[in-house]
């Protein structure tokens, strides 16, 4: 318990200490007037004008078109895998529905994987398709957040910046150097980075163990810096080659949180109001700590059914104890709980343990964080989601006191609220709608790996993960069927673009508005009080929307476990 | 898509599509090929062993990877955690298959989990001569997340001392000494959990006179 608290405190302290320096650095990247030589060369090659100033419509169009082209290009590469180099295992191309699911998944920064890496992708595909997507989709989300912030800051009229410049700079100045250094640290700790084929080992007992290898470290570093989450191997960051030591686990966690947390400070600087940034950071942190405490307690308490069968789950000097099904000894419960909380807070979706085998309420935490989808959040998108709730908070507070709501000096009116509600409602509609559809189809139910409420949780988790662009899974669900590939693919697209585009529009509309002077009737949004109000709005809206579904799944599951009910 | 408020005229859609295609090709070359290939070269120079998968050899033969678990069933070896990995073609179980990582993904109330744990508890008690009702450390009776967990807890290791000592004709104190010499402490004194690497202990046991 003491060692768990120490680890939590240490990691969160390191994260908090990095907020200001990294936030300042990102501010420089997003606002500097200078283009470096490689960037200028890139703009020339692409034939784009780096001085073009884009409105929200133009910015959104360029973002969508560039994403679409990359999607088709990557689909082609995947389908041609058999003809391309670096395929020592001679793997064939993914089937069309699976390849569609894969490219949509990585394009939208979801990283849902209906395939198992070592069984399905060549080294070439792991690098040229998956690793590339990890850079571009993370940079796209980041760029959208930058544009969104510029709109809210409203310093330059309707200009939200230049998508090409944002994309290029984020990749060249932030992701590439950080990924390179981190990848080397990962290799030092025991992560492979090679193009050599699998190795045949003869074990001490004389059996043959075939060991899959590959360019793992370069994928792993951008996987978490870009909060992507898709693993090189099927079992993701639980696999010792993806996560060999507790230090790599801690670095995975920190790199997921690094940029989303710093972005709150960057936002404060853009607004010229650092307090606003800190209020957002603080609100996110409060929710994070609450969720972390929940998942840690329930997983450490363990599964009473296993205790009755003779398994000793108590925490002692000799063992960490707890519910160890699907978990790794080197991480124990503490680092596992921290990873699970982070990966679903930061919309990463990698796992260092199997969420499907969590206790009911332990598994409820990752699910709920994805439903709320704004506790830190992935590259920029979680930030946008959080602002969506700020706008809603201002609106609700305005209704309560009977004043026209204002946010950052701009009046919030019907159009902004309609767009915000579109973004807000698309999310539960996709999650609950697709879940309801799936549970009515016998063919979809035949993919379940678990009976009873836990089976329902598997489906609910899948669409939550897809819509939240997370990518983690209750992985027992056999999701590689045309039905799931198609519908989860749609959920990912809805979750990504129906959040991003309406909120970009809100930023554009606000940018075009006249600033109203602060008066005694203005509700200040940079106070702890308002931060608290926003957290309540998030939790209440989330609870009203999702509690019924959560009760049918994880809550019922947990109650049955406590009663010792075992299901066939 | 001309927008009057923009000072420079935006490119028409065809040019935009072309720019998008060029960006896809360029970024694939830079982030998808140049970056991983360059890192592979540098990592191969700085950390050749780790970059190649931390392979351990004995008498010139590769016997496994230091960071991956492998399957042990003989009474003279320390046993690792249950592994749910399947054969590469999916035709049946193959514990510790290092080219097809896998987990049970059974939920907490699934009867399959309960039955597997019941059997494993019974097997651990039988193999180690424990009386019925002796609690068994949870890591020895639950499957890991990767199916390749290289470690067990100290509790799980010490429980096997008597059996290994008997099978090897060593004293329990000797076996316990080897295990205690191979405890991996918390990293930097803080991170993770103390643990015992199963393959390292077994290599050490095999090298005893």
Contacts of A9 (CB under 8 A, 6+ apart): none
**Cα distance between residue A239 and residue A232, in whole Å:** 9
**Cα distance between residue A198 and residue A191, in whole Å:** 15
Q: Give residue-wise pLDDT tens across range A70-127.
A: 999 999 999 999 999 999 888 989 998 889 889 988 888 788 888 887 788 999 999 9
**Cα distance between residue A383 and residue A122, in whole Å:** 35
Residue that the structure tokens 């969160």 belong to: A12
- A474 contacts A462 by C-beta, under 8 angstroms: yes
- Helices A360-372, A414-440: axis angle to 10 degrees equals 140
Residue that the structure tokens 């935009």 belong to: B16
Q: Which two tokens stand for residue A59?
A: 């910015």
Q: How far apart are the first and last CA of chain B?
A: 81
Hey, is the C-beta of A225 within 8 angstroms of any chain B C-beta?
no
What's the average model confidence in pLDDT over A326-346?
Answer: 95
The DSSP letter of residue A450 is S
**Cα distance between residue A421 and residue A27, in whole Å:** 29
Q: Is the confidence at residue A226, as pLDDT, over 70?
A: yes
How would residue A222 be classed by pLDDT, with cut points 50, 70 and 90? Answer: very high
**Cα distance between residue A228 and residue A346, in whole Å:** 9
Hey, is the C-beta of A342 within 8 angstroms of any chain B C-beta?
no
pLDDT of the residue at B6: 46
Longest dimension (CA), chain B: 89
Interface of A with B in 479-518 (CB under 8 A): none
Mean pLDDT score of chain B: 93
Considering only the beta carbons, identify the residue of B97, B134, B137 that sits closest to A319: B137
- A384 contacts A496 by C-beta, under 8 angstroms: no
Smallest CA–CA distance, residue A312 to chain B, in Å, is: 5
Q: Is the dihedral of CA B114, B116, B117, B122 positive or negative?
A: positive
Report the 3 state secondary structure along A84-130: CCCCCCCCCCCCHHHHHHHHHHHHCCCCCCCCCHHHHCCHHHHHHHH
**Cα distance between residue A366 and residue A345, in whole Å:** 8
- B205 contacts B58 by C-beta, under 8 angstroms: no
Interface of A with B in 261-280 (CB under 8 A): none
Residue that the structure tokens 């597997």 belong to: B116
How would residue A355 be classed by pLDDT, with cut points 50, 70 and 90? Answer: very high
Q: Which two tokens stand for residue A219?
A: 């994928």
Q: Is the confidence at residue B10, as pLDDT, over 60?
A: no
CA dihedral A57, A60, A61, A63 (to 10 degrees): 160
pLDDT of the residue at B154: 97
How would residue B51 be classed by pLDDT, with cut points 50, 70 and 90? Answer: very high
Q: Give residue-wise pLDDT tens across range A262-314.
A: 999 999 999 999 999 999 999 999 999 999 999 999 999 999 999 999 999 99
Indicate the pTM of the whole model.
Answer: 0.94
CB-based contact B64 A201, cutoff 8 Å: yes
CA atoms within 13 A on the CB side of A235: 33
Q: Give residue-wise pLDDT tens across range A461-488.
A: 999 999 988 888 888 888 888 899 889 9
Exposed/middle/buried for A14, CB within 10 Å: 0-12, 13-18, 19+?
A: middle
CA A190 to chain centre: 25
**Cα distance between residue A6 and residue A2, in whole Å:** 6
pLDDT of the residue at B8: 54
Size of interface A-B (CB pairs under 8 A): 439
Query: pLDDT > 90: what percent of chain A?
Result: 70
CB-based contact A164 B23, cutoff 8 Å: yes
- A528 contacts A279 by C-beta, under 8 angstroms: yes
Q: Is the confidence at residue A156, as pLDDT, over 80?
A: no
Q: CA A169 → CA A38, A144, A501, distances in Å?
A: 10, 13, 22
Query: pLDDT > 90: what percent of chain B?
Result: 89
Hey, is the C-beta of B49 within 8 angstroms of any chain A C-beta?
no
Q: Give residue-wise pLDDT tens across range A485-542.
A: 889 989 999 988 888 889 889 988 998 888 888 887 788 889 999 999 999 999 999 9
Q: Which two tokens stand for residue B204?
A: 């050490």
Considering only the beta carbons, identify the residue of B3, B72, B100 that sits closest to A205: B72
pLDDT of the residue at A186: 98
- Count how many residues are written for chain A: 568
pLDDT of the residue at A515: 86
**Cα distance between residue A137 and residue A146, in whole Å:** 14
Considering only the beta carbons, identify the residue of B61, B97, B187 that sits closest to A202: B61
What value, to the nearest 5°, has the Cα angle with vertex B21 and ends A44 and A141? 90
How would residue B9 be classed by pLDDT, with cut points 50, 70 and 90? Answer: low
pLDDT of the residue at B1: 37
pLDDT of the residue at A378: 62
Which residues of chain A neighbour B186 with C-beta distances below 8 Å? 3, 246
Mean pLDDT score of chain A: 92
DSSP assignment string, A339-403: HHHHHHHTT----SS-GGGS-HHHHHHHHHHHHH--SS-STTHHHHHHHHHHHHHHHHHHHHHTS
- A110 contacts A470 by C-beta, under 8 angstroms: yes
Contacts of B104 (CB under 8 A, 6+ apart): A325, A326, A354, A357, A476, B84, B112, B113, B116, B143
């Amino acid at each position: 318990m003491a060692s768990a608290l120490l680890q939590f405190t240490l990691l969160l302290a390191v994260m908090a200490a990095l907020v200001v320096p990294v936030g300042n650095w990102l501010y420089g990247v997003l606002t500097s007037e200078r283009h470096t030589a490689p960037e200028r060369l890139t703009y020339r090659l692409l034939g784009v004008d780096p001085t073009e100033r884009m409105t929200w419509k133009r910015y959104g169009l360029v973002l969508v078109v560039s994403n679409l082209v990359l999607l088709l290009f990557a689909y082609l590469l995947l389908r041609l895998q058999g003809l391309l180099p670096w395929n020592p295992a001679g793997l064939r191309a993914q089937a069309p529905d699976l390849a569609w699911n894969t490219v949509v998944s990585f394009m939208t920064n979801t990283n849902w994987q209906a395939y198992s890496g070592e069984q399905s992708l060549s080294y070439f595909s792991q690098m040229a398709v998956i690793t590339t997507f990890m850079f571009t989709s993370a940079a796209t989300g980041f760029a959208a957040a930058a544009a969104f912030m510029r709109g809210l800051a409203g310093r330059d009229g309707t200009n939200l910046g230049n998508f090409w410049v944002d994309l290029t700079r984020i990749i060249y100045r932030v992701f590439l150097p950080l990924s390179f250094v981190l990848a080397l640290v990962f290799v030092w700790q025991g992560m492979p980075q090679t193009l050599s084929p699998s190795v045949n080992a003869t074990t001490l007992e004389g059996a043959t163990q075939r060991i899959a290898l590959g360019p793992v470290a370069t994928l792993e570093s951008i996987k978490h810096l870009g909060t992507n989450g898709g693993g090189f191997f099927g079992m993701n960051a639980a696999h010792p080659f993806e996560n060999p030591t507790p230090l790599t686990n801690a670095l995975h966690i920190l790199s997921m949180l690094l940029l989303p947390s710093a972005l709150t400070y960057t936002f404060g600087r853009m607004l010229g109001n650092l307090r606003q940034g800190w209020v957002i950071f603080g609100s996110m942190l409060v929710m994070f700590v609450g969720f972390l405490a929940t998942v840690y307690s329930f997983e450490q308490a363990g599964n009473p059914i296993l205790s009755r069968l003779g398994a000793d789950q108590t925490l002692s000097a000799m063992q960490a104890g707890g519910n160890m099904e699907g978990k790794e000894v080197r991480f124990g419960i503490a680092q596992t709980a921290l990873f699970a909380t982070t990966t679903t807070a930061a919309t990463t979706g990698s796992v260092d343990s199997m969420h499907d085998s969590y206790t009911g309420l332990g598994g409820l935490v990752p699910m709920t964080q994805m439903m709320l989808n704004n506790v830190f959040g992935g590259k920029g998108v979680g930030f946008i989601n959080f602002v969506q709730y700020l706008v809603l908070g201002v609106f609700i507070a305005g209704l309560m006191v009977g004043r026209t709501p204002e946010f950052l000096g701009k009046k919030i009116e019907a159009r902004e609220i309609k767009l915000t509600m579109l973004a807000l409602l698309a999310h539960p509609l996709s999650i609950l709608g697709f879940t309801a559809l799936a549970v009515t189809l016998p063919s979809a139910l035949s993919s379940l790996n678990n009976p009873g409420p836990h089976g329902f949780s598997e489906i609910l988790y899948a669409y939550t993960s897809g819509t939240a662009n997370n990518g983690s899974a209750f992985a027992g669900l056999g999701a590689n069927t045309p039905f799931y590939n198609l519908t989860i693919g749609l959920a990912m697209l809805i979750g990504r673009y129906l959040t991003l585009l309406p909120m970009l529009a809100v930023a554009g509309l606000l940018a075009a508005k006249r600033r109203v002077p602060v008066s005694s009737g203005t509700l200040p949004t940079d106070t702890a009080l308002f931060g608290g109000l926003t957290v309540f709005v998030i939790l209440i809206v989330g609870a009203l929307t999702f509690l019924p579904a959560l009760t049918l799944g994880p809550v019922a599951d947990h109650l049955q476990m406590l009663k010792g009910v075992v299901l066939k | 898509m001309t927008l009057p408020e923009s000072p420079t005229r935006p490119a028409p859609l065809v040019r935009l599509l072309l720019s998008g295609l060029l960006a896809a090709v360029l970024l694939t070359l830079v982030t998808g090929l140049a970056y991983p290939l360059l890192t592979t070269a540098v990592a191969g120079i700085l950390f050749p062993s780790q970059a190649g998968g931390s392979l351990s050899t004995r008498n010139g033969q590769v016997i496994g990877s230091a960071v991956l678990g492998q399957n042990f069933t003989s009474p003279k070896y320390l046993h690792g955690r249950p592994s749910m990995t399947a054969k590469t073609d999916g035709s049946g179980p193959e514990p510790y298959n290092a080219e097809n990582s896998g987990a049970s993904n059974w939920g907490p109330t699934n009867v399959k989990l309960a039955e597997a744990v019941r059997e494993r508890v019974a097997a651990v008690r039988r193999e180690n001569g424990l009386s019925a009702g002796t609690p068994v450390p949870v890591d020895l009776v639950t499957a890991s997340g990767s199916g390749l967990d290289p470690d067990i807890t100290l509790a799980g290791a010490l429980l096997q001392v008597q059996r290994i000592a008997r099978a090897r004709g060593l004293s329990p104190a000797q076996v316990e000494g080897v295990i205690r010499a191979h405890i991996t402490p918390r990293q930097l004194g803080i991170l993770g959990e103390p643990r015992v690497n199963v393959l390292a202990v077994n290599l050490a046991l095999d090298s005893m006179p």
